[in-house]
Chains A and B, each alone.
Chain A
Amino acid sequence: MSYKEIIAKYAEVPGGIIEAFHAVEKELSFLPEEAIAEAARVFKVPAAEAFGVASFYSMFSTKARGKNVIRLCESAPCHVAGAAEVVAAIEKELGIRMGESTNDGLFALEFTECVGQCQATPVITINSKPYLDVTPAIIPNILAEYK
């Protein structure tokens, strides 16, 4: 589905621009400039305002990124549970740094704040699916699911 078709589905939802952006990201993994301009037109707000919404929320990316978004929690409970070692292991496994995407477009690597799964820290999410009690040793197995 094109971003135009996706956004059109939310045209009648009051305040639906955020829902529309979620739907576009699900398809494209980020919000292209044209999609933000289209949303501004559909929801009858200035382009600056639509861009303001897109850039405000941390789950929205206005830059192209990998298809599978890996987010590593860096809040205090994950921090004291060894999140830094998990970060190092994933960076090594994918050969990229935090904030970057792999060349094959398969993975994007980002920090996040708490994802609310603190019973089993450290936690990472891939496309919002949580992985619990993550250790450097199990990283390759987790990533294999998405290759």
Chain B
Amino acid sequence: MAEEMRIVLRNYGKIDPLNIDEYIAAGGYKALEKAKGMNKIDLIEEVKKSNLRGRGGAGFNCGQKWFFAYQTNADQKYVVCNADEGEPGTYKDRLIMQGDPQSVLEGMAVCGYAIGANKGFIYCRGEYPYVVDILNQAIDQAKAKGVLGDFDIEVRMGAGAYVCGEETALIESIEGHRGEPRFKPPFPGVEGLWGKPTIINNVETFANIPVIVDKGGDWYAAIGAPSYPGTKVLTLTGDVNNKTFFEVPTSTTIREVVYGLGGGVAGGKKFKAVQIGGTSGGFIPESLLDTAISFDAMSAIGATLGSGAVFVMDESRDMVDVVSKITKFFEHESCGKCAPCREGTARMNELVGKIKGGKGSAADIALLKKLGGVMSIACLCGLGQAAPAPVLTTIGHFAADYEDKLV
């Protein structure tokens, strides 16, 4: 039976998030003090040793990323917190920022010290103005207490663009531009915000940092799956009994999440599918439920852990109907910069709509597969590369739902 383990949500519901004294009383800002007493390279080594990998979805080694920015010489460097949580079914970053905003500020300040940056930005999605208020209050309190030292943090608000969760699109948006991704390289660690070395980590990644500094990289590396250690905050939606959030070790299986913590499928119905990682995640059938949620275990079955959204669907759900909402989403959210994504998401939505409307043929399914394959390779950023996954995995695992509708 799976059990919760709260690292990121260690203070959630236990302290008043708008009272910094309660965070400090719970041990807050001790990690920053400890970090500042360490040699920068030793600090980065400790984070590397924890094997903490980015919690925004890409899963890059956090300490390694910090090292790139550390070793780049520049008169100014930046730390950016990606709080542009936009994956449908995901609200874990909101929980962290609403429940324990100081933990994010502390994680950012540790990063600032490690890479030599005195300025941080939190890019919070425009749909969360009430979270922006909390963050600003938390920053004011931290400044008044002097806990951040010479590290300054400013909150910037997005304005409703899913693609801005992509790190270079996010940078463009902070700079006041359309949120269109940049070509990489150069990577942000070398040339990021206003051309300066920039570390961009997810809210959940930063919230892990103080605990890692406090308890050590070895302690963290021993939790959950060895290749993607630690915990993950999951948010459960759809046809599941417990539509709520959990933080679990990354070795927990999907079955334990859906049937254990999630309480199983709602209304006594049978399980049909679960989509994990947000709207760009693959659909997973019953036969693969014993897979661990860790990054690599999920990759191995053609799925993703992504943001940690867990969207459960019961036997009554038509996969083509659900997927048609998803293809519409990607057509709308494609920024239009690269042709494979701009055209691909539109054609994909058109083809799925055709099949849903009872006008599709087997040739359309073959075309969807081919188009999806091209997009996953040719699109400029993660949005277009991941967009075909829901279509391809439902064609793979739930072919009958498509075939029933063909002419």
Give A contacts to B, CB under 8 Å: 14-19, 21-22, 43, 45, 49, 52-53, 56-60, 74-77, 79-81, 112-121, 125, 128-129
Interface: B85 (CB within 8 A): yes
- Please encode chain B, from 304 to 318, with 1 for each CB lying within 8 Å of some chain A CB and 0 for all others: 000001010100010
Q: Given A18-B156, A80-B322, do A59 and B126 touch, yes or no (CB 8 Å)? A: yes
> B residues 221-270 with Cβ under 8 Å of A?
235, 237-239, 243-245
Asked whether, in the complex, the Cβ of B159 is within 8 Å of the Cβ of A58, the reply is yes
Asked whether, in the complex, the Cβ of A79 is within 8 Å of the Cβ of B162, the reply is no
Q: Given the complex, which residues of A lie within 8 Å of B238, measured CB to CB?
A: 76-77, 80-81
Asked whether, in the complex, the Cβ of B160 is within 8 Å of the Cβ of A76, the reply is no
Asked whether, in the complex, the Cβ of A116 is within 8 Å of the Cβ of B160, the reply is no
Q: Given A76-B311, A77-B311, do A57 and B88 touch, yes or no (CB 8 Å)? A: no
Interface segment out of the listed B49-57, B138-146, B174-182, B212-220? B174-182
Asked whether, in the complex, the Cβ of B94 is within 8 Å of the Cβ of A18, the reply is no
Q: Given the complex, which residues of B lie within 8 Å of A15, measured CB to CB?
A: 156, 174-177
Given contacts A15-B156, A56-B178, 18 further A-B contacts (CB under 8 A): A14-B194, A19-B156, A22-B157, A52-B178, A53-B177, A57-B158, A57-B159, A59-B126, A75-B325, A76-B279, A76-B326, A77-B311, A80-B313, A80-B322, A112-B160, A114-B90, A119-B91, A129-B130
Give B contacts to A, CB under 8 Å: 85-91, 94, 125-130, 156-162, 173-179, 194, 235, 237-239, 243-245, 275, 279, 309, 311, 313, 317, 322, 325-326, 328-329, 332-333, 335
Asked whether, in the complex, the Cβ of A22 is within 8 Å of the Cβ of B162, the reply is no
**Which one of B129, B130, B174, B325 contacts A76 once the chains associate, using CB atoms below 8 Å?**
B325
Q: Given A76-B311, A119-B243, A120-B243, do A21 and B86 touch, yes or no (CB 8 Å)? A: no
Q: Given the complex, which residues of B lie within 8 Å of A56, measured CB to CB?
A: 161, 178-179, 335
Q: Across the two chains, which residue of chain A brings its CB closest to B128?
A: A116
Closest CB-CB distance, A116 to chain B, in whole Å? 4
Closest CB-CB distance, A81 to chain B, in whole Å? 8
Q: Given the complex, which residues of A lie within 8 Å of B175, measured CB to CB?
A: 14-15
Asked whether, in the complex, the Cβ of B87 is within 8 Å of the Cβ of A114, the reply is yes
Q: Given A113-B332, A119-B243, do A18 and B173 touch, yes or no (CB 8 Å)? A: yes
Q: Across the two chains, which residue of chain B brings its CB closest to A45?
A: B176
Q: Given the complex, which residues of A lie within 8 Å of B311, measured CB to CB?
A: 76-77
Q: Given A19-B156, A19-B157, A113-B162, do A80 and B86 touch, yes or no (CB 8 Å)? A: no
Q: Across the two chains, which residue of chain B brings its CB closest to A129?
A: B130
Q: Across the two chains, which residue of chain A brings its CB closest to B162?
A: A113
21 contacts between A and B (CB under 8 A): A14-B176, A16-B176, A18-B156, A56-B179, A57-B161, A58-B160, A58-B161, A58-B332, A60-B159, A75-B279, A76-B275, A76-B311, A77-B311, A79-B325, A114-B88, A116-B86, A116-B91, A116-B94, A119-B235, A121-B237, A128-B130
